[in-house]
Amino acid sequence: MTTEPGNCTASELLCVMSARALEDGQVVFAGVGIPLLAATLAQRMHAPGVTILFEGGTIGPHVVPGELPPTTNEQRCTRKANMLVSITEVLLLLQRGYVDVGFMGGAQIDQYGNLNSSFIGSADDPSVRLPGTGGGNDIASLTKMIVAMPQEKRRFVEKVDFVTSPGYLTGGTSRVDSGLVAGGMYRVVTDLAVLGFDDGTGRMKVLDLHPGVTAEQVQENTGFELSIGPDVGVTELPTDEELAALRHLDPDKVYIA
């Protein structure tokens, strides 16, 4: 049973919608925050066979409801895991090709799916020094990416101030030309829509709108022109089961505001 619009927060909507982007049986490299929570939700709902990898070195854990880890490097990440390895080894799994999907949040993204988590303003004299790439650069360089983030004009910019994690760089064949021959941006899931990328140009486009959201709304919350075709789809609202499972996982609202 799907819930009524307005029965969930934007974070909850984002979490459910991005969980749905995962398929059963996939090996998913999940960042901390919404991705961790959404991958766990996917496991509890439609994709019990999803294997989660955390950057701290955890393979196939079982995240315990109410004990969400504050980073991917804490022991909470390792509960009932299948295997623990070093950080370098878990990142090398991306390079070797064992991972299906990299799943991250983002501070700033541009029309080619490049992510910035390093500097607001110029790198030499930033107005804000952000925490940096972590595994983001490696994940985005080496595997197919799903990014979950709120759709806001200041976050969806024409060109990011700094390419921390590469999308399609300057579009066309520029990503492959740079040496990044595998992986690439696949989906951006927001609280308004599900976005994809044009095969040829590498530019972002709208695939599906969330119920009640118009194409105009999405464009208004985006700092560059989005291609929105007439055949754009509509997602289904979160179900009561999804929301219940989500709230059970994060009762203290650590990641869902």
For residue 11, state whether it binds other proteins (rule: CB under 8 A): no
For residue 164, state whether it binds other proteins (rule: CB under 8 A): yes
Q: Nearer Cβ to other proteins, position 165 or 222? A: 165
By rule CB under 8 A, what count of residues binds other proteins?
A: 73
Structure tokens at 196: 């994809």
CB of 21 to other proteins, least distance (A): 17
For residue 199, state whether it binds other proteins (rule: CB under 8 A): no
d(CA 124, CA 117): 15
Q: What is the dihedral of CA 139, 140, 145, 149, to 10 degrees?
A: 100
Nearest to 255 by CA among 96, 95, 34: 34
Q: Nearer Cβ to other proteins, position 3 or 164? A: 164
Choices 78-86, 148-156, 204-212, 243-251 (CB under 8 A): range interacting with other proteins: 78-86
The residue assigned the tokens 């107005």 is: 127
For residue 129, state whether it binds other proteins (rule: CB under 8 A): yes
Q: Nearer Cβ to other proteins, position 70 or 212? A: 70
For residue 166, state whether it binds other proteins (rule: CB under 8 A): yes
Nearest to 19 by CA among 174, 232, 245: 245
For residue 95, state whether it binds other proteins (rule: CB under 8 A): yes
Nearest to 211 by CA among 18, 19, 46, 13: 13
2, 10, 46, 126: residue in contact with other proteins (rule CB under 8 A) = 126
Q: Out of 55, 74, 216, 242, pick the active-site residue.
A: 55
55 is catalytic: yes
Choices 58-66, 185-193, 200-208, 214-222 (CB under 8 A): range interacting with other proteins: 58-66
For residue 29, state whether it binds other proteins (rule: CB under 8 A): no
Q: What's the burial of 185, exposed, middle or buried (CB within 10 Å: 0-12/13-18/19+)?
A: buried
For residue 71, state whether it binds other proteins (rule: CB under 8 A): yes
Choices 2-10, 60-68, 204-212, 233-241 (CB under 8 A): range interacting with other proteins: 60-68
Q: Nearer Cβ to other proteins, position 131 or 230? A: 131
Q: Angle at which helices 34-44 and 10-20 pack, to 10 degrees?
A: 60
Q: Nearer Cβ to other proteins, position 13 or 169? A: 169
Nearest to 208 by CA among 220, 195, 222: 195
Q: Angle at which helices 34-44 and 240-249 pack, to 10 degrees?
A: 120
CB of 46 to other proteins, least distance (A): 14
d(CA 63, CA 184): 27
Which positions are annotated as active-site residues?
55
